[in-house]
Amino acid sequence: MNTEEELNALGYPVLKPKTPVPSDIEVSQSIVRDVGLLPITEVGKQLGLNDDEIIPWGIAKAKIPLTARTNRLDVEDGNYVVVTGINPTPLGEGKSTTTIGLAQALSAVRGKKTVACIRQPSQGPTFGIKGGAAGGGYAQVVPMEEFNLHLTGDIHAVTAANNLLAAAIETRLFHEASQSDEALFKRLTSKPFSAVQKRRLRKLGIDETKPPEEFTPDEKRRFARLDMDPSTITWQRVLDTCDRHLRTVEVGLGAQETVKSGSERVQHSRRTGFDITVASEVMAVLALSTDLHDMREKLGAMVVAYNKQGEPVTADDLGCGGAMTVLMKDAIMPTLMQTVERSPVFVHAGPFANIAVGNSSIIADAIALKVVGPDGFCVTEAGFGADIGMEKFFNIKCRASGLKPKCAVIVATVRALKMHGGGPPVAAGQPLSIEYQQENVELVEKGTSNLIRHIENAKKYGVNVVVAVNQFKTDTLAEIEAIRTNALQAGAFAAVVSNHWAEGGKGAAALAEAVEQACADSQTENFRLLYESSKSIQEKIEIICKEMYRADGVDYSPTAQAQIEQYEKSGFGHLPICIAKTQYSFSCDASAKGAPTGFRVPVREVRSCVGAGFLYPICGDIMTIPGLSTRPGFMDVDISESGEVIGLF
Amino acid sequence: MNTEEELNALGYPVLKPKTPVPSDIEVSQSIVRDVGLLPITEVGKQLGLNDDEIIPWGIAKAKIPLTARTNRLDVEDGNYVVVTGINPTPLGEGKSTTTIGLAQALSAVRGKKTVACIRQPSQGPTFGIKGGAAGGGYAQVVPMEEFNLHLTGDIHAVTAANNLLAAAIETRLFHEASQSDEALFKRLTSKPFSAVQKRRLRKLGIDETKPPEEFTPDEKRRFARLDMDPSTITWQRVLDTCDRHLRTVEVGLGAQETVKSGSERVQHSRRTGFDITVASEVMAVLALSTDLHDMREKLGAMVVAYNKQGEPVTADDLGCGGAMTVLMKDAIMPTLMQTVERSPVFVHAGPFANIAVGNSSIIADAIALKVVGPDGFCVTEAGFGADIGMEKFFNIKCRASGLKPKCAVIVATVRALKMHGGGPPVAAGQPLSIEYQQENVELVEKGTSNLIRHIENAKKYGVNVVVAVNQFKTDTLAEIEAIRTNALQAGAFAAVVSNHWAEGGKGAAALAEAVEQACADSQTENFRLLYESSKSIQEKIEIICKEMYRADGVDYSPTAQAQIEQYEKSGFGHLPICIAKTQYSFSCDASAKGAPTGFRVPVREVRSCVGAGFLYPICGDIMTIPGLSTRPGFMDVDISESGEVIGLF
């Protein structure tokens, strides 16, 4: 552990937290104004990056090219730590804040090379109810307004790529409805076969070197007519805006969007919908790609519909995989920012946690692990509760990356455990009941059932578990001790209190020490996944539901069964499973708190992200584009006389 | 004029053009690979910008903060040159290429401090048919793929701001349809009045310091209920994608988008549409703002609908002006890039030329004029033909900025003048008729009528006119001489041939010299506008139609008349006029070539951009979101084995 002087010399400022802790934007702006940001190129250099491995993107942000990893292939990976949590209250239990606080403690307090890897938040909810996702208090990424809005444009690139494909689908339907095979083929071959067209020829088993004029009518038809069954189209348009009226729309109602049908013209319209951008499969691809070429293959392989013969139609069949990759070529680079204590943070990808992996990118973690080296730490966050976020982190993200974590930090709060112990409901915008403001050890004791099950679950993967009690000022010693005792009994390597929100890295020093010890004690070869991907789709779903949620079994709707059959038939049966369910309970019933048993998991349908590489069973109501309240957050956001952002939160 | 050695010392490379000229992307990539980009911070420094006036944004781009202008308020402006053109063929006559080529000649050949100011292109058509807009050949901005895709995210910011307002409108309609005045008011005042809410109180004449509980029922209703008449909503959603099926859509068809009506629930749906992002009024605001606070006022003042009493409802009434400004706070800074000869280029704003000003931003020009200083040049481009682009440049953009141009460069080609002289139609993707490949002085002579009228028009503004004949290899000496003679007779200060596309700045040296002389000969105090904004709307429309197009008169539809009355009544009568008509003719009939007379201008409707600050009469069919062809450009775009972009054009 370095002295304060040594840390200062390393460029870490001494944080002087205010009491009470101001709003997040006030903390962020005061750090920028009073302490000053380290030039972002300096943040990168202190981490050991070379000049050509730091691409400035504005004053406070930089893109880190993938060469930062490939230049260090002979370096041993650092310690890989995932931060996850118990099933939260709707107020959140501070996973992002703990991720940032832990990274601040490891770097600015304990002098370890550390990178925190977190997701980029969707801009939509930022203007709605949610607020930002930069952490909070004295454990946050700064400037928070830069973090929360636009960042380096990655989400906008996802929007552009997603919607290019949507336009391609709609237009292809339109052109196929209004043109003969011959006319379609002639237009599609008006220029030499492009790279993506050659991919389609290879897929169809047609010699790609054959001149178009030598194609047989059957070959022309097979090449030119995708023959999508409109009822099977799953690709939606996206916007990074909370616009609930776009959930279901009818498109193609214009006077020019008509096609000839017999002797008359009929409207070429279709019912479809918009999702919020982070729910796009393109975002999931960004999170799960390992490099540019891998991303190219994944984007091209995305299945958007089935043809009338039941065969999958991909983005590459529509000629879009290459152009989408080009649109995503900057987005593939993680964004470097810094915390209030100048610790480096990689912000990269933000796939929707309820239908996708809810984890930041493989690329960011992989770069971070090489850059920090064997004595360093990559602290990465898994969204939602550990039953979803951590499970997906291990079984989808680590499976795809081959990276091996050593330690899982499970964040718990006295408040949430009281709720799990039977306390009254907690809701955003409502005053907290008295149970949450006064000592109640019994509720906490009862509620630890939730934490205990998450600890047991995490240990199945062969990692050490550290419980972080994210401290609130109303917590009492007896309440915290109840959590610690139960956690250690359940097999946690350590259980410590952390007060990074109010104190910054210093407040998380004990947590950082515990994580260091947990990593030193752990062997990466002990890491194991929960299931083999070669098992059947139903087996995999059942293993997760029984081993992680402790369900008695799984019930499939006829739709889900038919979809599973379709996927097995189409060759997608090997994909890992990404269950979409509530984050508020182990079960599919958000009100079932603690450690519920005796329930079954109903699978309503099973959707696919074939490009990103997972199937996602839908076990509950899934909302893929939020709305705005009568008094949304945007009404408070403005610029001040001096041009500063105000009212963000 | 500097020697080659001196220019080399200044960092200008010696261009070695290939013959034949490779494709634009090949030229761009070969420059980056073989010559190398100047680090963008160096480009800025050579221009005289200080370190804190250059914000790197990736390797090849930087944002220029508005302080670059305010730090130099005591510096005399440079020479302000606008590049415009005759009525073009659908292939374009090379305005952007001439703008870039002229700037290369002024800076890299003649050693003058020069900034070219051009528009950011929409990404949609880049993947459709149009190709890029970075210039072309050896007169282009590099890297062209960076220029054409994403740039620094400004268009994405416009999309975000535009769609936040769209969601706010739709949600407000929904909430007003389902809540009482009291409930609405209670929710809107659940937090203290925000800055934008206080604006609304001031507009309504309600004391903003009065506590909400003291509001009278009438005040509550007036504050909380915007009472928009859905049939008057003009605000559309936008995407930067060519997706024609979004031209007309029905939104709000989801199961949850219903409101109670009597004893049943009815669908809260509405027919509306999407435009391409560059057609958004937010983009026009970006182009016409003078600083951040001006942008804040303009965004807030945008009229999106009228209430049932016929009063305008603004973005600020919806509480959106502040949040939109915050979303646009980086977009307000011009992007610095460089040409193949390392001349500095400001890329900023790209309002749709057919319904908006079609000019790059005031801010970019204003910064450039201060940075280059009195001996330098700001070469800015006006979209479409001079009858539209130049007229709007003078009467809307210069009126708003107060900046005074000295010289208008009118770009002409032998090809387009032959078409104006009666040559056969020219169309994209079709082989050119023989008339355009062989000498035909007679057609050129006849066609100069079009050029002559543009010269006469430009001279009405008190600027010197330089005609640039953008040379093609099929042009003959006699054809070019015919243009020159006629242009000089019509009062052009000079008429010169330019071959920047094939030769870079060297090819435009004569043009640069002519422009320098034209500026030296010109007095800014001679500059005058065509009309006083205080005239009536109809008078202003008629002045433009008669003086610029030489129409006999204007015919208004009843709709247009009613709209004009509404605008006069709402206090918008003082706004300048931005006529939306075809760029292919002086008249509203695209096929009327040369210098048509004896026609009238039919005004079908008059729309408003109250925030941006103009009214736009619609005189023809206006398409605000293009479609995709059967073989769109995106099918050729991909990444190569080495990760380079291929197939962009």
Residue A11 included in any domain: yes
Residue A209 included in any domain: yes
The boundaries of the domain holding residue B459 are 4-20+68-117+339-523
Number of domains in chain A: 3
How many CB atoms lie under 10 A from the CB of residue B591?
Answer: 10
Residues B504 and B432 in one domain: yes
Decide if B168 contacts B314 (C-beta within 8 A).
no
Cβ-Cβ contacts under 8 Å between A and B: the total is: 282
| pLDDT (0 to 100) of residue A594 | 97
Q: A59-63, B45-49, B67-71, B261-265 — which is least confidently predicted? A: B261-265
For residue A473, indicate whether it is catalytic. Answer: no
Residues A384 and A289 in one domain: no
Residue B394 backbone phi and psi in degrees, to 5:
-70, -55
Dmax over Cα atoms in chain B, in whole Å? 85
Residues A366 and A485 in one domain: yes
Distance in angstroms (rounded) separating the CA atoms of residues A112 and A377:
7
Residues A420 and A291 in one domain: no
Distance in angstroms (rounded) separating the CA atoms of residues A552 and B624:
56
**What DSSP character marks residue A395?**
I
Question: Which CATH number characterizes residue A284's domain?
Answer: 3.30.1510.10
Please report residues of A whose CB lies closer than 8 A to that of B237: 239, 243, 246
Residues B460 and B355 in one domain: yes
C-beta atoms of A634 and B168 within 8 A: yes
For residue A97, indicate whether it is catalytic. Answer: yes
Tell me the C-alpha to C-alpha distance, in Å, between residue A130 and each of A125, A230, A562.
Answer: 5, 35, 37
| pLDDT (0 to 100) of residue B513 | 98
Residues B567 and B511 in one domain: no
Residues A274 and A338 in one domain: no
Residue B145 included in any domain: no
pLDDT in tens, B614-641: 999 999 888 889 999 999 999 999 999 9
Question: Which CATH number characterizes residue A423's domain?
Answer: 3.40.50.300
Decide if A436 contacts A493 (C-beta within 8 A).
no
Measured between CA atoms, the residue of chain B closest to residue A295 is: B639
Residues B508 and B561 in one domain: no
| pLDDT (0 to 100) of residue A621 | 84
End of a domain among A309, A325, A341? A325
Residue A639 included in any domain: no
For residue B130, indicate whether it is catalytic. Answer: yes
Residues B178 and B113 in one domain: no
Question: Which CATH number characterizes residue B605's domain?
Answer: 3.10.410.10
pLDDT in tens, B439-494: 999 999 999 999 999 999 999 999 999 999 999 999 999 999 999 999 999 999 99
Q: How far is B241 from chain A (nearest CA, A)?
A: 6
Q: What percent of chain B stands above pLDDT 90?
A: 91
| pLDDT (0 to 100) of residue B10 | 65
Residue A190 included in any domain: yes
Decide if B448 contacts B416 (C-beta within 8 A).
no
End of a domain among A325, A354, A388? A325
Decide if A62 contacts A40 (C-beta within 8 A).
yes
Please report residues of A whose CB lies closer than 8 A to that of B267: none
Please report residues of A whose CB lies closer than 8 A to that of B325: 638-639
Distance in angstroms (rounded) separating the CA atoms of residues A368 and B396:
51
Helical (H) or strand (E) element with A420: helix A414-420
Which residues of chain A fall short of a pLDDT of 50? Answer: none
Of B58, B188, B628, the CB nearest to A630: B188
Residue B9, judged by CB atoms within 10 A of its CB (0-12, 13-18, 19+), counts as exposed
Distance in angstroms (rounded) separating the CA atoms of residues B363 and B292:
10
| pLDDT (0 to 100) of residue A3 | 67
Q: How far is A326 from chain B (nearest CA, A)?
A: 6
C-beta atoms of A245 and B322 within 8 A: no
Distance in angstroms (rounded) separating the CA atoms of residues B558 and B586:
24
Residues B14 and B86 in one domain: yes
SS3 B451: helix
Residue A641 included in any domain: no
Helical (H) or strand (E) element with B96: helix B95-104
Q: What percent of chain B stands above pLDDT 70?
A: 98
Residues A24 and A87 in one domain: yes
Q: Please name the residue ranges forming H helices in B507-553.
A: 509-521, 537-543
| pLDDT (0 to 100) of residue A133 | 79
Distance in angstroms (rounded) separating the CA atoms of residues B427 and A312:
38
Residues A222 and A99 in one domain: no
C-beta atoms of B195 and A638 within 8 A: yes
Residue A645 included in any domain: no
Report residue B157 as tokens: 């910011």
How do beta strands A312-314 and A335-339 pair?
unpaired
Task: Give which of B630, B646, B648 to mutate to test A binding, by max A Cβ within 10 Å.
Answer: B630
Measured between CA atoms, the residue of chain B closest to residue A323 is: B637
Average pLDDT score, chain B? 95
pLDDT in tens, A268-293: 999 999 999 999 999 999 999 999 99
Distance in angstroms (rounded) separating the CA atoms of residues A195 and A201:
10
| pLDDT (0 to 100) of residue A1 | 53
Residue A269 included in any domain: yes
